[in-house]
Amino acid sequence: MKKEKFTYEKSGVNINAADNFVKFISSISSNNKGKKKFNNIGGFGSISNIPKYFKNPKIVACTDGVGTKIEIANILNKYDTIGIDLVAMSVNDLIVQGARPLLFLDYISINKINLKKLKSILKGIVKGCKISNCELVGGETAEMPGTYEKGKFDIAGFAVGVVDEKKILKKKNIKQNDLILAIPSSGVHSNGYSLVRYVLKNKKINLNNNNFLRKELLKPTKIYVKEVLNLIDNKLINSCANITGGGLEDNIQRVIPDGLVADIDLNKVKTKKIFKWLKKNNIDDKEMLKTFNCGVGFCLSFLLKNINLMLLEKLLQVKIKLNLMVKLTGLKKIKTAVFISGTGSNLKNLIEFSKEKRSPITIDLIISNTSQAKGLQLANRFSIKKKIFDYKNFRNTEKDITALLKKEKIEFICLAGFMKILSNDFIKKFNGKIVNIHPSLLPKYKGLNTHNRAIKNKDKFSGCTVHYVAAKLDSGKIILQKKIKLLIKDNEVSLAKKVLVQEHKLYPAAIMKIFN
């Protein structure tokens, strides 16, 4: 009996087909190579020159895919645009750093090599590289029988860019009162397609019979490289954001420094028909905004004095008034909890301060260790959420407090006469986010009876200190102090009154210092 010989091809991998595809890639790359020195396709690695005009070049690398948009391509048997999407998803991230795309690599994994399908995808990749002025230097095509179902595949892209160190776009470039302009998207781009497909499935929509959806859902992601680099070269922008998964809020937030927020007026966004169609299919506004770009593909941050509408129109090739929204960045209000045990004198002062326009905080939660704390009345008066913890079981109490702070999205904690010691574990969890006001000039007189001790020792000065809370009692880094002259006639009561007046001034000043 003749034994059957096993081969790679019998297992489902066709090396000859893969070699033919590599030759096709090489032929396309050669046609687009121009004066490039190195021929990278087919080698073990890609070699590229760093352009000589960069004085202090820094490498920026990005990787991304197109998600389940490939399933729409499969349904419509149309693959010539998702390659453009693949390039766009990475190079649009590169330019957020101010980088100029230099080279691109792709990865295609498929159950069985289909040359017609792969060539169509590759042509899109080459077109995307041409639009973004970067070179396709290599990639990998993996035939994976048994891993993917028949006809299924996935693609990923990897882009490398270069930026001069002095031209890197950083968060710190954005300042209060900068303007944010939004550049229109070409459509859905490459995010949110799992939700799109869920709608199609539940509504039993046949894409092949719907001209509108067939056209819209495979419309390639807009590549913003040329326009945005023009703005960077003309020193017109100080930051930008690629609006992908997470929508406007999440992606703008990624490039804005702490303490600032983008005040977005959604009425300024020119919504495309495809997003109106999606919303009509039982998707609420909140879900739309966190899933899709909703018509805004890219955002740019400008100094107000740098706005030149005519130049922008020319460089961006769009009409500003029709397609761009103008937004101001303002102070971000930090959600704050105040811990109290007594009358809440400092709490009242902090609440009033939080309502000032200049204040960087809002008071969103009041926590006390006793129901007898008079300061709790302020929570009712100002409609602030309050919670009392009895501290019968210290560890469980702190666990419950932590859970509440997380639930309420508290970012900052002010202690105002809170008569419980916080554990080291709790302080570590909120490291650098807990402050306290203490009625002495630390490091003098830690703990209680500070006024009595200052008078007894015949000090010439007393005062108050705002400091970060550390593991050791009243030993955290000092933020601000206020000195008060101690008079011979002062007693414990009169000194306490004088110090309290200064506390009411010092606490807001310290908070302003922290967030500015």
Short-list 247, 248, 187, 243, CA closest to 220: 187
* Tokens of residue 396, six digits: 């469980």
Residue 219: DSSP 8-state: P
DSSP calls for 384-446 = -EEEE---SSHHHHHHHHHHHHHHTT--EEEEES--SPPPHHHHHHTTT-EEEEESS-TTSS-
Rounded CA separation 187/173 (Å):
30
**End-to-end CA separation in angstroms for the chain:** 85
Domains of the chain, CATH where assigned:
1-167 (3.30.1330.10), 169-322 (3.90.650.10), 334-515 (3.40.50.170)
Rounded CA separation 364/160 (Å):
44
Spell out the per-residue pLDDT of the chain, length 516, in tens.
566 777 667 677 666 666 666 666 666 665 554 445 546 566 677 788 888 888 899 999 999 999 999 999 999 999 999 999 999 999 999 999 999 999 999 999 988 888 889 899 999 999 999 999 999 988 888 888 888 888 899 999 999 999 999 899 988 888 777 778 888 899 999 999 999 999 999 999 999 999 999 999 999 999 999 989 988 888 888 889 999 988 888 888 888 876 677 777 777 777 899 999 999 999 988 899 989 999 999 988 876 555 555 555 555 554 433 344 444 445 568 999 999 998 888 999 999 999 887 888 999 999 999 999 988 999 988 989 999 998 888 778 999 999 999 999 999 999 999 989 899 999 999 999 999 999 999 999 999 999 999 999 999 999 999 999 999 999 999 999 999 999 989 999 999 999 999 999 999 999 999 987
Q: Give the Å distances, CA to CA, from 186 to 7, 88, 279, 324.
A: 47, 12, 18, 14
Full-model pTM: 0.63
Short-list 341, 352, 413, CA closest to 382: 352
Short-list 461, 456, 462, 438, CA closest to 448: 438
Helices 273-280 and 193-202: crossing angle, nearest 10°? 50
Q: Give every strand in the sheet of 434-438, ordered side by side.
A: 385-388, 361-368, 334-340, 412-416, 434-438, 461-468, 478-485
Residue 465: DSSP 8-state: E
DSSP calls for 311-360 = HHHHHHTS-HHHH--EEEEEEPPEEEEEEESS--HHHHHHHHHHTSTT--
- Are residues 72 and 193 in contact, defined by beta-carbon separation less than 8 angstroms? yes
Catalytic residues: 438
Rounded CA separation 449/447 (Å):
7
DSSP calls for 102-161 = EEEEEEEEESS--HHHHHHHHHHHHHHHHHTT-EEEEEEEEE-BTTB-TT-EEEEEEEEE
